[in-house]
Amino acid sequence: MSQVLYKKIYSVTEGYLTLYEGLRTARFLLRAKRNKVMSSQFIERIMLAVTEVNGCEVCSYAHTKIALEQGMSNEEIQMLLSGTTKNIPKDEMQAILFAQHYADTRGNPTEESWKRVVDVYGQEKAWGILAAIRMIMIGNVFGIPLSGLRTRLKGKPSGKTNVFYELSMILSFPILFPPALLHGLILSALKKPVIEFS
């Protein structure tokens, strides 16, 4: 597999926001899977589409493996990882486009784009789509520095990240996780909106 270029580099602050938003919505993905509202292949298409926008090597590798195990063809996977949406099932296209938009805007989609997702899929499935996007965003935000460190240790630094960035992001994850989880639980208890727009 050819090395993916890191298209986006996220800060520790963005890592925290991505983490608490993802943890806050994880239950919607679990519910969508349990209620068979979203197929495993649909979820993998979303995750591959987000990973393509962010350019996370370890996530590309991991989700390619999962997608193949879910029965997706190598051709479809490679198309998603190259940003091509040609063979996406029509009923999943709006979700894939929203996933790409969400990643491209660093987790700040437009309100109109979110309303389209809700209109097309209904609230329950839209929450599941948002949760799938946010979960892979966590993987990408912390996977990009992990990919950078991995290639650095192999003697092939990417040139886009440095060792300080890679280590600070990787080491921040276990520190950020507990307050991010608590933050999400408090916002849920206060019934704050799951998605907000600037």
pTM: 0.94
Ordered structural domains, the chain, with CATH: 28-186 (1.20.1290.10)
Residue 109 CB neighbours (<10 A) = 20
Going residue by residue through the chain, which has 198 residues, state the pLDDT in tens, using 9 for 90 and above. 444 456 789 999 999 999 999 999 999 999 999 999 999 999 999 999 999 999 999 999 999 999 999 999 999 999 999 988 888 999 999 999 999 999 999 999 999 999 999 999 999 999 999 999 999 999 999 999 999 999 999 999 888 899 999 999 999 999 999 999 999 999 999 999 999 998
CA distance 4 to 144: 10
Instruction: For residue 159, give the DSSP letter.
Output: S
At 87 the pLDDT is 84
CA distance 15 to 91: 31
Mapping DSSP to helix (H, G, I), strand (E, B) and coil, where does residue 42 land? Answer: helix
Environment class of 132 (CB within 10 Å of its CB; exposed 0-12, middle 13-18, buried 19+): buried
Of 117, 118, 98, give the one whose Cα is nearest residue 53.
98
At 6 the pLDDT is 62
C-alpha distance from residue 11 to each of 88, 164, 170, 176 (Å):
32, 12, 11, 13
Helix pair 12-34, 163-189: axis angle to 10 deg:
50
Query: What letter represents residue 48's amino acid?
Result: L
- Longest CA span, the chain: 49
